[in-house]
A and B are shown apart, each in its own frame.
Chain A
Amino acid sequence: MKISIMDYGVGNLHSISKGIERAGSQVRVISNPEDLLSSDCIVFPGVGAFGAAMDTLRPILPQLRERIKSGVPTIGVCLGMQILFEKSEESPGAGVAVLKGEVLKLKGPRIPQMGWNDVVSTGDALFEGVPDGTQFYFANSYVCRPAESVEIAESEYGQRFPSAVRKGNTFGVQFHPEKSGAPGLRLLSNFVRLAEGSM
């Protein structure tokens, strides 16, 4: 299985690439969004801003949406999770919109939320082997508000918010598994296994 990590042109893709490689999968970082349309598995990393990331994806948006909806395993990390929704307060314009709902400014004690926070999962296979209440690393100023029932984990920072979502083979995590030590690597490996199992 070939996993593609979308490079929006900003930020660090090193850790997410290494994290997935450790799970035993081949990774390629792609900068031409067209290549997403032939990928077996898609990763939207968590760096940059909503508008800029969507500008990169806009030329192929209808085909990309169809491809993800058809069941190609996909995971969005942080910003990458947010772009899976319909729109964001961060920037005007549509998201990838494979999940119903929007992205709102986080109302917490100090913004950005920067650090390790508890994640309580509903027991989805993505969290297999990760004890309940394990802390993951967050660095975000926005959170998702799904308009459908997709939440598989929640956290709290001034407000409750979904820290992980899943709809079929489409996953999103608000934290950074690639920056969350051993539990994060376990989660990435669970994702790779789930993706392989769906082929």
Chain B
Amino acid sequence: MPLTKRIIPCLDVKDGVVVKGVCFRNLKSVGDPPTLAVAYQDQGADEIVFLDVKASLAGAETLRSAVQKTAENLFIPLTVGGGIRLFNDVRLTLKAGADKTSVNTAAVQDPSLISKCANAFGSQCIVVAIDAKRVGDSWEVYTRSGTQPSGLDAIEWAKEVCDRGAGEILLTSMDADGTKMGYDIALTRTVVRAVGVPVIASGGCGTIDHVVEVLTKGEADAALAASIFHYGQHTVGEVKRILESKGVPIRKGVVA
């Protein structure tokens, strides 16, 4: 039996509230992080990702307090990202109750941060988030919540972060994000085949079929989604039942 494919609801948090927007803009409020996190846990979510979208709380006490409240009643893994810059931010975020921390901009600016954190906390704690935008036949890495092109090729960067000790890649297609037109399958599969660590696909989920597609054709280990869950379109349980009917291995024993 292989590992089950993971379904990960994403909490995009701004000023302590879960929001959802299109292409990182036009953010609308949908609820508070601890309530949504527990609701998704009860529905059978395999993990929760908490992203401080505009790094609005970055490095601050308020972020850690929001993480602490979210972790309070959570007994599944919690990944926290957004504005994490320094070694000490990683340490304090884990201490606040995160199981993994996700870094993007800080890793591009100083790639040695990845190995430093992986050595201290273990690779399994260090997720590198890659926001990729298609440029011709390849994809470029963007930083600062998708506002700044880095000049790095996404596939080469994915390989490098693994060499430096990243334990997982959270891959967001900026072209697909917020469109609800489906994940970027080509990008996902290319990264999955280029690296040896698990890859979480993100950006573009609008239907259950999109989840099926990215976990099969896209070969992703996990699918991240926000709006299909936040607006009550589907529960995690519904997504899993469809996945199971299509022969995709999922975690059982949780119904909702």
C-alpha spacing A183/B253, complex, angstroms: 9
0 or 1 for each of B96-109: is its CB under 8 Å from A? (1 = yes): 11110000000000
- Pairwise interchain contact B76-A134, C-beta atoms closer than 8 A: no
Q: How far is the CA of A181 from the CA of B167 in the complex (A)?
A: 22
A179 touches B3 (CB 8 A): no
As a 0/1 sequence over residues 136 to 153 of chain A, the CB contacts with chain B under 8 angstroms (1 = contact) are 011111000000000000
Kindly state the separation between the CA atoms of A84 and B30 in the bound complex, as whole angstroms. Answer: 46
| Interface presence of B71 (CB below 8 A) | yes
B-side interface residues, number (CB < 8 Å): 39
Q: Is B161 an interface residue (CB 8 A)?
A: no
Of the candidate stretches B21-29, B54-62, B121-129, B150-158, the one touching chain A is: B121-129
Contacting pair A113 B167 (CB below 8 A)? no
Q: Name the distance in Å between A190's Cβ and chain B's nearest Cβ.
A: 15
B198 touches A115 (CB 8 A): yes
Q: Which residues of B contact A181 (CB under 8 A)?
A: 41, 75-76, 254
A137, B77: Cα distance in complex, Å: 8
Query: Number of A interface residues, CB 8 Å?
Result: 41
CB nearest to A10 among chain B residues: B121
Q: Cβ of B6 and Cβ of A11 under 8 Å apart?
A: no
A106-117 CB contact bits vs B (8 Å, 1 = yes)? 000111111111
Q: How far is the CB of B40 from chain A (nearest CB, A)?
A: 12
Report B's interface with A, CB cutoff 8 A.
Answer: 1-4, 6, 41, 46, 68, 71-72, 74-77, 91, 94-99, 119-125, 167-168, 196-198, 221-222, 251-254
